[in-house]
Amino acid sequence: MLETTIETLKKLGFTEYEAKAYISLVGFGMATAREIQETSGVPQGRIYSVLRSLSNKNFIEVQEGNPSYFYAENPGTILNKLKTEINESINESIEYLSNLHLNSKPPSPIWVIHSEWGIKNRIKTLIQGADKEIIIIVEDYSLFEWILPELKKLKKRVNVEIYAKSKADFAGTNLRVTEFSEKMEKMYSMMEKVASVEKEKYDHPEPKINMIIDDSTGFFIGKIQGQVEGVVIQVPHFVYAIKTFMKMLEEE
């Protein structure tokens, strides 16, 4: 029960040392700093600053003297007052956040991730969340090294298909890799040329890694002036069309 009460007081704004000192003082009713320190476990060098902080917050009273005595008023009165203030703050926050939510636009099905940290975390969540299939087209093996550790952690039976320009890059990974067919190679070269033109006009990234997860989510990783960016597309019919086109090229 002691640990639960300490955690509850911390949620109400007490520090851990304040909570321990306060509980000790409530047990005494009135006590010196030394008595509180010895029973609460608060370090000797911190006890006066902790008691001063409790006094400044009006949680306890001080009777000055030599030594000074500290007194805890009815804890029910103090904690009920804190609970009321916190409930009022929570209600105000709910109203404020609800208004923000109503005024906000619906989430976009396409968005860009600019940080390496964000891209790696998106790779992790996509692979861990896959139910049936992961298709990966690899142009830049150095970026595939961000994906490899997550593939190795897969515990579910998910079909993983990897297409790449060179199978030799994947030696030792124990992954099944299919080299680009002639038509897929031409398609990818065409995509790179289009991306190169688009990059000059609109700063679009050059495609380096393309991932398709369960026919529903596409994740495309590219580079702009050496900076890696990721594009998430959650438009199932569009992602399925890309997958179907790829399969058609591979079969031909």
CATH of residue 34's domain is 1.10.10.10
Q: Is the dihedral of CA 198, 203, 208, 212 positive or negative?
A: negative
* Domain contains 82: no
Give mean pLDDT, residues 231-243.
82
* Domain contains 172: yes
39 and 153 assigned to the same domain: no
- Give the whole-angstrom CA distance, residue 193 versus residue 199: 10
Last residue of a domain, one of 48, 73, 98: 73
Last residue of a domain, one of 73, 97, 124: 73
Query: What pLDDT sits at residue 70?
Result: 93
* Domain contains 104: no
- Structural domains of the chain, count: 2
* Domain contains 88: no
Owning domain of residue 60: 2-73
pLDDT digits (tens, 9 = 90+) for 31-57: 999 999 999 999 999 999 999 999 998
* Domain contains 204: yes
211 and 165 assigned to the same domain: yes
- Name the average pLDDT for the chain: 82
pTM of the model: 0.52
Contact 72, 25 (CB under 8 A): yes
Query: What pLDDT sits at residue 199?
Result: 45
139 and 206 assigned to the same domain: yes
Per mean pLDDT, which range of 130-139, 174-183, 200-209 is the poorest? 200-209
